[in-house]
């Protein structure tokens, strides 16, 4: 308290109301491959509809990840998702053309310019063309006459005719890859190079996009000839902002079309309209909002980014004052060159994406879904990613659990070998209480493609934990007939018998079983901790995650206070009511908090440390029921034979 030098009243406040806060327990996280959407960015998905809107529909290379996420969302509404990309993913663009050709050997004996042949662009692209210049019998330069579009790598360049031989050259193309959630110029090898537009996200879906732009046409008749005139309510002209500054001809309409129908299912569907945008870099609407067409498109479009002005837009992007902006008329371009690299996403690509979920201070998750365990269908076994996820996500964060399923090849169409295969996989994996392994795959209908799919169960297993949080508390078991009912099951890969369930459970693999008239049930609640311990049960592991995280959050407000009797009592008085509440909700049988001079000795205090020992007796779930029926003679008293 400050010293007062003269009489007066000094009012102060002290807050002694600190409590242990509630923490989230139902947030999931996963990294996976998807056909569309932001790359290597954490996106909150709260429903299957948002999953579809953000990452498009599932396909042959993405369905296992897509439905792992969708199945989790059947039980909860908080899933943090990161899309993984391969280096071969590219964004569709109006460019991706040949930007330079370098002569590597001039050759000899040329009496005239040879014909330059540039290898064709991939399907859907436009072929580049060029001419050669000859001096002293050698090719000295190449002039690109048409850059082409849709190239995903540098094409071969060859020469023919002209009377000479041995000339050689190499080409370079602009390839845009891995667009992020936000426009940040984060491209692999350059930006734009004359291409006006690029798909917002990488993948072949972008090839379905067409962008058409129309500014102030010469007259109404010319404007009326534009294919999309009916989508706008008038002809672009001079905006008020530019007109007031002595400028003119700045307005432009932009429309985005699903040319091939890959996004909507109907070719030619209009996806977005942007009317009366401005070419002026400082343009504003009447309400003060920015109206520069570059900024509006990049900030608002769900499908495209701007990368360059059209070639006729010589003064576009300048300030409005006194500028008459160049007219381009109608410019319509189909985007090409987008490549879907999901089939070659590597373990490294997947781990790069999953790293976005690593830091607990940045992303709050408690349930990490490993999906199929490998980056894409047909990839090698996922034990590498399992080991990585356990070390770099769960055990690094110390506040979440990894949910794992056996490999597809372990249990699907493996009649008689399912249990042996699952156990063999388990034996290759690490012992940990921060992981849960189920033992099956399920057959589920894919309504987007009208097919049935085999899918891993870990999205459902994690989802059952969410259901448990909703109906009871995290420290209840998610298994069994009360809380372990699995959704969306046509059939299971196999139906484990009692003997097989015994084998699986002994190894820490939780069986998933269909019971006649009862549905499909998660029939085990073990973690993958091999050592006999309270932590070999899901409910105990999750109980301690809640206790540790909640109390740790509260404890940080004791940092830089004095380690004296007052601070220790304040801490104990904060923790005791919290643990009593957990006890009343059946999470623990008993507890004890020790925070006094017995563990905060003078040596501890002198090291600027503070120690609290929290003893907890966790509640245990019932895994085995023994019903003993005893028959007695009629004349026997129960007091004589009863226990």
Say if residue 167 is in the same domain as residue 204.
no
Say if residue 518 is in the same domain as residue 370.
yes
Say if residue 521 is in the same domain as residue 380.
yes
- Share the mean pLDDT of the chain: 90
Say if residue 167 is in the same domain as residue 208.
no
Say if residue 409 is in the same domain as residue 456.
yes
Q: Are 122 and 151 in contact (CB under 8 A)?
A: yes
Burial class (CB in 10 A: 0-12, 13-18, 19+), 583: middle
pLDDT higher than 60, residue 233: yes
DSSP state of 299: H
Q: Give just the sign of the alpha carbon dihedral 333, 337, 343, 346.
A: negative
Within a domain: 623 = yes
Within a domain: 36 = no
CA separation for the pair 431, 636 (Å, rounded): 53
Last residue of a domain, one of 140, 173, 206: 173
The residue-averaged pLDDT of 38-57 equals 95
Say if residue 506 is in the same domain as residue 401.
yes
The residue-averaged pLDDT of 84-113 equals 86
Last residue of a domain, one of 506, 539, 572: 539
Place of tokens 């059209």: 310
Q: Give φ, ψ of 386 to 5 degrees.
A: -60, -50
Report CA 85 to chain centroid distance, whole Å. Answer: 10
CA separation for the pair 43, 529 (Å, rounded): 31
Within a domain: 3 = no
Within a domain: 111 = yes
User: For 301-318, how does the pLDDT look when each residue is reduced to its tens digit (9 = 90+)?
Assistant: 999 988 888 878 889 999
Cα distances (Å, whole numbers) of residue 94 to 212, 310, 315, 334: 11, 11, 21, 6
Number of other residues whose CB lies within 10 A of the CB of residue 594: 14
Say if residue 398 is in the same domain as residue 317.
no
Within a domain: 247 = yes
Number of other residues whose CB lies within 10 A of the CB of residue 427: 8
SS3 state of residue 625:
coil
The enclosing H or E element of 454 equals strand 451-456
Q: What is the pTM of this model?
A: 0.86
Say if residue 144 is in the same domain as residue 226.
no
Q: In what side-by-side order are the strands of the sheet with 367-369?
A: 43-45, 79-83, 28-32, 367-369, 401-404, 435-438, 509-510
Strand-pairing partners, residue 454, are 443
Question: Over 536-577, what HEC string results?
Answer: HEHHHHHHHHHHHHHHHHHHHHHCCCCCCHHHHHHHHHHHHH
Say if residue 201 is in the same domain as residue 322.
yes
SS3 state of residue 352:
helix
The residue-averaged pLDDT of 370-399 equals 84
Within a domain: 58 = no
Place of tokens 């408690």: 366
Last residue of a domain, one of 299, 334, 369: 334
CATH of the domain at 492: 3.40.50.11780
CA separation for the pair 350, 334 (Å, rounded): 31
Q: What is the pLDDT of residue 179?
A: 53
Within a domain: 506 = yes
Determine the Cα angle at 158 with ends 153 and 161, to 5°: 160
Say if residue 148 is in the same domain as residue 260.
no
Its domain, for residue 523, covers 69-80+355-539
Say if residue 510 is in the same domain as residue 569.
no
The residue-averaged pLDDT of 371-395 equals 82
Segment of 164-178, 263-277, 361-375 carrying the highest mean pLDDT:
263-277
Say if residue 227 is in the same domain as residue 288.
yes
Within a domain: 184 = no
Q: What is the pLDDT of residue 337?
A: 77
In the chain, the number of structural domains is: 4
Determine the Cα angle at 522 with ends 517 and 524, to 5°: 125
Q: Are 146 and 128 in contact (CB under 8 A)?
A: yes
How confident is residue 183, by pLDDT bands cut at 50, 70 and 90? very low
The residue-averaged pLDDT of 471-497 equals 96
């Amino acid at each position: 308290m400050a010293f007062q030098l003269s009489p007066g009243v000094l009012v102060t406040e002290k807050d002694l109301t600190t409590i242990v806060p509630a923490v989230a327990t139902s947030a999931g996280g996963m990294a996976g491959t998807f056909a569309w959407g932001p790359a290597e960015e954490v996106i909150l998905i709260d429903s299957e509809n948002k999953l579809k809107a953000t990452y498009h529909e599932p396909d042959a290379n993405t369905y296992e990840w897509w439905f792992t996420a969708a199945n989790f969302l059947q039980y909860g509404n908080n899933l943090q998702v990161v899309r993984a990309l391969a280096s071969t993913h590219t964004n569709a663009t109006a460019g991706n053309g040949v930007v330079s050709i370098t002569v590597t050997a001039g050759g000899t004996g040329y009496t005239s310019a040879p014909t330059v042949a540039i290898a064709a662009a991939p399907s859907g692209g436009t072929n580049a063309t060029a001419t050669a210049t000859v001096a002293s019998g050698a090719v000295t330069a190449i002039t690109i006459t048409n850059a082409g579009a849709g190239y995903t790598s540098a094409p071969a360049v060859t020469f023919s005719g002209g009377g000479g031989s041995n000339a050689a050259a190499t080409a370079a193309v602009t390839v845009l890859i891995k667009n992020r959630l936000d426009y940040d110029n984060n491209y692999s090898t350059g930006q734009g190079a004359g291409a006006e537009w690029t798909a917002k996200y990488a993948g072949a879906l972008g090839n379905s996009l067409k962008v058409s732009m129309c500014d102030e046409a010469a007259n109404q008749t010319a404007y009326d000839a534009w294919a999309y005139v009916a989508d706008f309510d008038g002809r672009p002209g001079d905006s008020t902002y530019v007109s007031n500054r002595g400028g003119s001809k700045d307005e432009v309409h932009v429309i985005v079309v699903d040319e091939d129908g890959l996004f909507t299912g109907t070719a030619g569907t209009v996806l977005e309209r942007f009317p009366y945008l401005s070419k002026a870099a400082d343009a504003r609407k009447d309400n003060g909002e920015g109206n520069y067409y570059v900024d509006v498109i990049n900030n608002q479009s769900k499908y495209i980014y701007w990368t360059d002005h059209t070639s006729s837009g010589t003064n576009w992007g300048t300030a409005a004052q006194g500028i008459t902006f160049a007219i381009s008329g109608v410019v319509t371009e189909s985007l090409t060159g987008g490549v879907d690299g999901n089939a070659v996403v590597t373990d490294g690509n997947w781990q790069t994406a999953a790293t976005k979920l690593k830091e607990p201070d940045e992303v709050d998750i408690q349930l990490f879904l490993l999906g199929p365990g490998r980056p894409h269908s047909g990839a090698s076994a996922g034990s590498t990613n399992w080991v990585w996820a356990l070390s770099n996500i769960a055990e690094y964060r110390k506040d979440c659990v990894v949910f794992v399923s056996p490999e597809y090849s372990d249990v699907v169409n493996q009649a008689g070998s399912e249990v042996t295969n699952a156990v063999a996989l388990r034996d290759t994996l690490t012992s940990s209480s921060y992981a849960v392994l189920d033992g099956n795959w399920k057959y589920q209908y894919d309504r987007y493609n009208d097919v049935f799919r085999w899918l891993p169960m870990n999205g459902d297993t994690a989802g059952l934990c969410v259901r448990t949080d909703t109906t009871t508390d995290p420290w209840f078991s998610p298994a069994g007939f009360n809380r372990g009912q699995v959704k969306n099951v046509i059939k299971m890969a196999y139906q484990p018998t009692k003997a097989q369930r015994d084998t699986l459970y002994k190894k820490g693999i939780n069986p998933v079983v269909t019971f006649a008239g009862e549905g499909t049930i998660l029939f085990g609640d073990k973690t993958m901790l091999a050592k006999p311990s309270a932590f070999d049960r899901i409910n105990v592991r999750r109980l301690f995650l809640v206790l540790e995280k909640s109390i740790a959050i509260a404890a940080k407000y004791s940092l830089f206070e004095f380690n004296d009797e007052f601070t220790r009592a304040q801490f104990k008085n904060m923790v005791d009511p919290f643990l009593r509440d957990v006890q009343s909700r059946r999470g623990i049988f008993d507890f004890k908090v020790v925070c006094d001079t017995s563990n905060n000795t003078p040596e501890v205090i002198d090291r600027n440390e503070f120690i609290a020992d929290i003893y907890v007796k966790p509640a245990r779930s019932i895994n085995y029921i023994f019903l003993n029926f005893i028959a007695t003679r009629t004349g026997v008293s129960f007091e004589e034979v009863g226990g």
